[in-house]
Amino acid sequence: MQLCRHFIIYLFFIPALLVAKPSFKTVKGVEGFESTFYSEQSGLPYLSILYRAASSERPKLGFLKFGISFLKLEHLHIRLDLRHAPSKQLLLMWDQLLMQKAIRYASMQPIHLALIDQGGELFNFVATNGKFTSSGELRLWDKVVCSSAQNTQQFEKVSIAYDDQSNALIVMFGKDDSKPIILPLPNS
């Protein structure tokens, strides 16, 4: 369960952080960051991450400042193609994430997420706000627009989590979604 909690965090952010190995000071100093990861088998891209700018804040509560800086990524774009994603490599990066906890204090405003399933169907999610929860979900809220080939709908909240039992990403629309989207990861 612990591994499941942090998969989404690791899936989207840590690959970029591992390549450059920057500190959060470096991340917030970079504007227009873009990184793409390619499959060793096919040579095709499976993960692209792009953001316009990053900043950090130390919020105040009255006259006291929190000792933790909160990272804010502006105009974050993530594209994950599950047809070419090497799940073993993603899981290895995910294990390394278990040592890092600062990502829980990052927020994304706005966030654009494109997921391509094993059949090639594109699912686009555009939200005003995004954040990783302590349970490891990527939570999108405040006017989340979800579009696919079949339709476009708007929701107040969408949660995306990894389920290790089915080796899949589970997309839930609201708290008690009875028909979530299940996006299996490739077996590798």
pLDDT at 129: 95
Q: Is the bond leading into 110 cis (omega within 30 degrees of zero)?
A: yes
pLDDT confidence tier of residue 140, bands split at 50, 70 and 90: very high
- pLDDT tens-place string over residues 8-66: 444 444 444 444 444 444 455 556 788 898 988 889 998 898 998 888 777 676 666 66
Show the beta-strand stretches assigned E in the chain: 33-38, 45-51, 53-57, 60-61, 64-65, 70-81, 106-116, 122-127, 129-132, 138-147, 152-163, 168-173, 181-184
pLDDT at 50: 92
- pLDDT tens-place string over residues 71-119: 788 899 999 999 988 887 766 665 454 445 666 677 889 999 999 999 9
Arithmetic mean of pLDDT, 120-142: 89
Q: Please tell me the pTM assigned to this model.
A: 0.77
**Which three-class secondary structure state does DSSP give residue 164?**
coil
What gap in Å lies between CA 70 and CA 72, rounded to an integer? 7
pLDDT at 100: 58
Arithmetic mean of pLDDT, 116-125: 95
pLDDT at 12: 47
Cβ 147 vs Cβ 124: under 8 Å: yes
67 vs 152, residue with greater confidence: 152
pLDDT confidence tier of residue 122, bands split at 50, 70 and 90: very high
Strands 122-127 and 152-163: unpaired
